[in-house]
Amino acid sequence: MGQGVLVAWVWLAAATFVAGCAWRAWRYRRAPVHLRWDLYPVAHEPAARRAYGGSRLEDPEYWTRGGRRSLAGELEAVLAEAVLFRGVWRNNRRVFWASLPFHWGLYLLVATSGLLAASSMLAASSWAIGLARLSGIAGGLLVAAGALGLLALRTADPGLKRYSSPLDRLNLGAFAAVGGLGAAVALRPGGMEAVSRAVGALLAFRSPEAPALVAAHMALAGLVLFYFPFTRMVHFFAKYFLYHDVRWDDRAVVAGSAMERRLRGALDFGISWSADHVGNGRTWREVAADGRAREERRQ
Amino acid sequence: MSPRGTTFASAREADAFMDEHQGLDVDALLPLPHPYDDWRDTAIRPLTEDQRGRYEAGPDGVSALRLPRPSGEDERSRAVAGFLAGLQKLLSAEDNWTFLQPLMLSLENCVQCHTCSDSCPIYTAAGRPEAYRPSFRPEVLRKIVDRYLKPGGSLFPGLRGLDVKVDWAQLVRLAELSYRCTLCRRCAQACPMGVDNALVTREIRKLFSQELGIHMPELHEAGTVKQLETGSSTGLNPAGLRDIVEFAEEDIAEKVGRAVKIPIDLAGAEYLVLHNAGEFLSWPENLQAFAIVLGEAGVSWTLSSELIGYDSVNYGLFYDDVQYARIAARHHAAGRKLGVKKLLIGECGHAHKAIMAVAERLVPAEARVPAESALVLLEDLLASGRVKVDPSRNDFPVTLHDPCNITRSLGIVRPQREVLRRVAPRFREMEPHGVDNFCCGGGSGFAVNSSLNFPDWRVRVAGRVKFRQILEAFAGEPAGGGKKYVCAPCSNCKGQIRDLLEYYQAGERAGIGYGGLVELVANAMVSVPEGFLAQ
């Protein structure tokens, strides 16, 4: 691959990643307000209630009291899931031992990329490169080990194997290669300096003239970035919606609020379900009102 | 019971599998503790030859739907086309605004890590058969969406794991398997992503119902349709309600030695009490206990004789948004008509969720009435001293079953425990409990399905973990001595626990009985002669 092509490829991959993720997030965000489907414990309940999963519905006339929301509770829950993988630790210990290093490694590789971008723009960049080397080695090894662990589970465990496609396994292999190559680059004398120069060139739309190992790493990382938004890996941001917009969404409908306006609008949506009892061609409002009992119809 | 691949690659393979596995292996079921060490389950009855000739069954040989076999290829093809059309509607903002966002999120972000698997009491009780894994049904639907609805879906299906074929056999499996999940949502609670495979299962039910008219007859024809037609899923009409109330008042007078009024259509009352009408017929002592407690406390309350206004049931919650919306609107309308300040939801789990939470975003503000849980009011009446109790009246072991729709779906956990602490000195928790509870196995309409071989499956498999929990809660108590009480503040849960105790002969073998919460309160009331529960 010529290195001019590498510039174009990495930029195309990055743009696809950003646009693809933004598109998917926009789809989730623009979806109509749904009916309540919260699930307890809800993290923003006050600590005393959160401890056992209680809600404001435990109070007499709860609708007159307003809801107290604990931001600290949400932060604690988010950090426990995103950093400590509490749910996997509690319910799936085998996957935990592969998933935790894999994700921690990814966090470190993202940090490494930031440090390298900073180092390419700073005059005195040795500290950034030094840090990037450390995080690059640790991150690369953790990603590679985690991805290989997950690959082993998806190959050897009969349950997981049955639900894993060849593409899933290729994807884990690609992550293992990205991590392994990243660690190899960081371990080579002068490797991170070369990456820093290459990143600077990429940011300036210049040919990076990078060593073969660095170029291979960038090309492969670009491939992963390119297809990432079209996979289930977008859970890294979709989790926000799954928790905040569904699981913890206990918002009351306030008169005159934007939510109320959206809900009233939804009642005027057309309905085209075909089963006899639905009676299609009308709006939700009309169909819901058609719940008259036999005796009422006679009147 | 473990087919190759996730989706039974061909109908032939699935048929062969079904022939081979007529019925689950009951020896693989979760073992039960003492005094059931020597317990041997009887087999789940296979469908008779006549039934198999008429009805389709799931891959486990069980039929929840009594789905008629199609008459020919035309009918099968129409069903497949209808299913795919319905799937498109399920993913449209207009036709499915009610749950589109959670559905999209849960369809697109499950990574199949199987963290949810062991949270499912049906999957674990049955010996972990693949078809019961909580992520199995949703994964079949995901593959169908990716293969049939998304651009390029037929490209490299093997590489992408889209080994799925939509044919009649696939529809039967999906429809039946959507009724091997009680929608208890323990799997959703375990999922680190927040994916809700129970919601996807409900959406599958909804697609079949709203597009193809395929539903569990007990939920639809004998459930929501009957309720909309006659006023109650039990078939109870307003005249019947008045008879029941009259009888209940006579019964109360005999029990407590004084007249206690059960008001009907009292305009301007503080509370319109909404009971599951199943209580009136199967557990009238629940209605009576509420009347005694509310009467003593001087609460202003009433029942409604308005059609649907006297039955809190809304089975639409389990399978169909259209039917759900129709009934939810009527519940609130009954309250508006009487001009009450609040709706009070009696001991019915799904009614709590349907009326207190889900309806909030469906019934416009001007048509809604605020709704409160009876468990909360009972706690308040006891804490404030408006109802005087002598807890020694309930000097027997009591444990609490948490209805999923009250705890996990609404976060109402503490009030019922506070009530029990005041009226049941020998109360002990099941483990796990509260929002981590296990479903009774009768959830999402299972408790009212008593057709073909589904009840066999329901008590042996769906309720197995709950029964084990009940036994464990009473471990240490003499097996045969005295009565032990499983408190289940939910009509459907009570129905399921009744059937569990009967199948496992728990009355005879372990002295275990069951009932609601308010009955324990009435039994402990100082002003009520001793023995309310025994009568």
Do the chains contact at A61 and B372, CB–CB below 8 Å?
yes
Helix/strand/coil for B427: strand
Q: What is the pLDDT of residue B86?
A: 98
- Give B429's contacts (C-beta < 8 A, 6+ positions apart): B399, B400, B473
CA distance B36 to chain A (A): 28
Q: What is the pLDDT of residue A279?
A: 80
DSSP β-bridge partners for residue B515:
B487
Q: What is the pLDDT of residue B4?
A: 44
**In the CATH hierarchy, which fold is given to the domain comprising A3-31+83-230?**
Fumarate Reductase Cytochrome B subunit (1.20.950)
Contact B166, B148 (CB under 8 A): yes
- Give A83's contacts (C-beta < 8 A, 6+ positions apart): none
| Distance, CA of B410 to CA of B419 (rounded, Å) | 18
Task: Give me the sign of the Cα torsion angle B420, B422, B423, B427.
Answer: positive
- Give B85's contacts (C-beta < 8 A, 6+ positions apart): A274, B211
Q: What is chain B's Cα-based Rg?
A: 24
Long-range contact set of residues A14-20: C-beta below 8 Å, sequence gap at least 24: A14/A222, A14/A225, A16/A225, A16/A226, A16/A229, A17/A225, A17/A226, A17/A228, A17/A229, A19/A229, A20/A228, A20/A229, A20/A230
- Give B174's contacts (C-beta < 8 A, 6+ positions apart): B137, B140, B141, B204, B208
CA proximity to B167, closest of B243, B77, B104, B255:
B77
Contacts of residue B94 in chain A, CB cutoff 8 Å? 269-272
Q: What is the pLDDT of residue B23?
A: 59
| Distance, CA of B227 to CA of B220 (rounded, Å) | 9
For B58-72, what is each residue's pLDDT tens digit? 989 999 999 999 999
- Give A31's contacts (C-beta < 8 A, 6+ positions apart): B93, B100, B101, B104
For B17-61, what is each residue's pLDDT tens digit? 545 555 578 889 999 999 999 999 999 999 999 999 999 999 899
Helix/strand/coil for B387: coil
Contacts of residue B211 in chain A, CB cutoff 8 Å? 273-275
Q: What is the pLDDT of residue B199?
A: 98
| Distance, CA of A270 to CA of B503 (rounded, Å) | 48
CA proximity to B62, closest of B191, B209, B207, B180:
B180
Angle between helix A3-30 and A191-203 (nearest 10): 70
Q: What is the pLDDT of residue A2?
A: 59
CA distance A269 to chain B (A): 5
Q: What is the pLDDT of residue A90?
A: 95
CA distance B90 to chain A (A): 9
Contacts of residue B192 in chain A, CB cutoff 8 Å? 81, 85-88, 91
Least confident span in A44-48, B457-461, B530-534: B530-534
Neighbours of B214 (CB within 10 A): 24
Contact B89, A273 (CB under 8 A): yes
The secondary structure of B54-74 as a DSSP string is HB---TTS--SS-PBPPSSHH
Backbone angles phi, psi at B487, to 5 degrees: -90, 120
Do the chains contact at A252 and B130, CB–CB below 8 Å?
no
Tokens of B230: 């006659």
Q: What is the chain B residue with the closest CA to A154?
A: B113
Contacts of residue A298 in chain B, CB cutoff 8 Å? none
Tokens of B493: 């849960």
CA separation, residue B141 to residues A218, B3, B186, B214 (Å): 36, 17, 20, 17
CA distance B358 to chain A (A): 5
Q: What angle do CA B73, B130, B31 make, to 5 degrees?
A: 130
Q: What is the pLDDT of residue B480?
A: 72
Angle between helix B100-108 and B136-144 (nearest 10): 100
For B233-279, what is each residue's pLDDT tens digit? 999 999 999 999 999 999 999 999 999 999 999 999 999 999 999 99
Tokens of B388: 């005087």
Q: What is the pLDDT of residue A124?
A: 67
Do the chains contact at A164 and B161, CB–CB below 8 Å?
yes
What is the H or E stretch that residue A47 is in?
A: helix A47-50
Tokens of B449: 């399905």
Q: What is chain A's Cα-based Rg?
A: 25
For B287-305, what is each residue's pLDDT tens digit? 999 999 999 999 999 999 9
Residue B505: which pLDDT band, with cuts at 50, 70 and 90? Answer: very high
Q: What is the pLDDT of residue B5?
A: 45
Tokens of B210: 């709203």
Which residues 312-371 on chain B approach chain A with CB closer than 8 angstroms?
Answer: 322-323, 325-327, 329-330, 342, 356-358, 360-362, 364-365, 370
Residue B376: which pLDDT band, with cuts at 50, 70 and 90? Answer: very high
Angle between helix A191-203 and A93-121 (nearest 10): 70
Do the chains contact at A34 and B413, CB–CB below 8 Å?
no
Q: Which residues of chain A have pLDDT under 50?
A: 1, 293-295, 297-299
pTM of the model: 0.95
DSSP β-bridge partners for residue B301:
B271
One-letter amino acid for residue B117 of the chain? S
Neighbours of A208 (CB within 10 A): 23
Ramachandran sector of residue B224 (left: φ over 0; alpha: ψ -120 to 50; beta: rest): alpha
Q: How far is CA B51 from the centre of its chain?
A: 26
Mean pLDDT (chain B) is 94
Neighbours of B266 (CB within 10 A): 18
Q: What is the pLDDT of residue B326?
A: 96
Q: What is the pLDDT of residue A298?
A: 47
Residue B5, chain A, CB below 8 Å: the answer is yes
Domain ranges of chain A: 3-31+83-230, 267-298
Pairing of strands B398-400, B271-274: unpaired
CA distance A249 to chain B (A): 11
